Amino acid sequence: MQGLNVKNGIWLKSSNASFNPGNLVFNDCHMDLGIANGTAYYLDTADTGGFMNICTFIECDAIDSNGSSTTSIGWRFKGSTTSYFTTRDVLVLRSNVELFNTAVSLEHAANIEFNGNYMDTKTNGTIFSVTADSPNNQLSVQYAYVPNPKTTKILNDLNTSTLKPTTLRNSFARAETGGTFTLTKSVATVLFSLYRDTDGTGVYPTEWQGFPKGLVRITPLTDGATITPDITGTELGTVTLAGNRTIAAPTGTAVDGQKIMFKIKQDATGSRTLTWNAIYRFSGGTAPTLTTTAAKTDYLGFQYNAADTKWDCIAERMGF
């Protein structure tokens, strides 16, 4: 199903409890809103006594191609203000949502599972907006993007139910230099497995961590009197020492819990030493002695402690 240059796309509305347009499956839909301030997908029971549940959308995309929109919405789930169970149990899989003012709006809606693929917004837009009485919704986005000079709120969560919280999980974000992601969470918001692309040097919420486990980027460090790692693009820094060296404080903005590992190899001469900047902290206060044998390799792993502004050495394996 395709809608081109429209104001509104698919709109499912129930105004009578005996009419439930549920148990529906939509596949491979594309809505291109060329007219300002529309909604691409709208599931609506509002305050009309209707009821809607068990709808599935698979690879249904939306884009707001009208540059003058100020209130456009990609996906809108709207239930009754007196009962959020009128719009519920909806599954959205692999949806691309681009250039809306609000990508996904949950208003008095419950048990919505939304799995976004690529998502961005207009300047000062919001990716996920959740009202106070929208409980137990599961949200994720595979790739949220904000370019320079945009600011995007990745989540605005007003739901305070600790028994049925909003969950944002398994999500990945990239903010270019000059771009900013923000996040507003309630006392009940659950956040986990949130990662940022450390090649994107914009601003992220503190909950966003570095690259997920398994996606390790190996960066050769430039050997010299002072070796300076860049944590915005490095999980494993490698260097072969050709003389006695100093490891400087890393460049880039570290987040609490971020990790970096150094793979340090002696050259053919061996007996090279390292001095560590004071930002690196070692148990007992003393850095380990490098293996002095020519061509041998040592590994040292560090984790950032934001409270103390230190990179703590949490692992060392010597003499490979």
pLDDT by residue (tens digit) across 26-83? 999 999 999 999 999 998 887 666 677 788 999 999 999 999 999 999 999 988 777 6
Share of the chain above pLDDT 70, in %: 92
Read off the pLDDT of each residue in 255-278 and give the average, rounded to a whole number: 93
Overall pTM > 0.85: no
3-class DSSP state of 41: strand
Q: What's the chain's average pLDDT?
A: 89
Q: Tell me whether strands 218-220 and 138-146 are parallel, antiparallel or unpaired.
A: unpaired
User: How far is it, in rounded angstroms, from Cα 111 to Cα 105?
Assistant: 13
What mean pLDDT is predicted for residues 273-286? 95
The yes-or-no verdict on residue 233 having pLDDT over 70 is: no
Which tokens belong to 8?
């509104």
CB 29 within 8 A of CB 60: yes
Q: What percent of the chain has pLDDT over 90?
A: 66
Mean pLDDT confidence for 290-304:
95
- The reply to whether omega before 149 is within 30° of 0 (cis) is yes
Query: Both tokens of residue 91?
Result: 């599954």
Question: 310: exposed, middle or buried (C-beta count within 10 Å: 0-12, 13-18, 19+)?
Answer: middle
Query: Which has the higher per-residue pLDDT, 81 or 282?
Result: 282
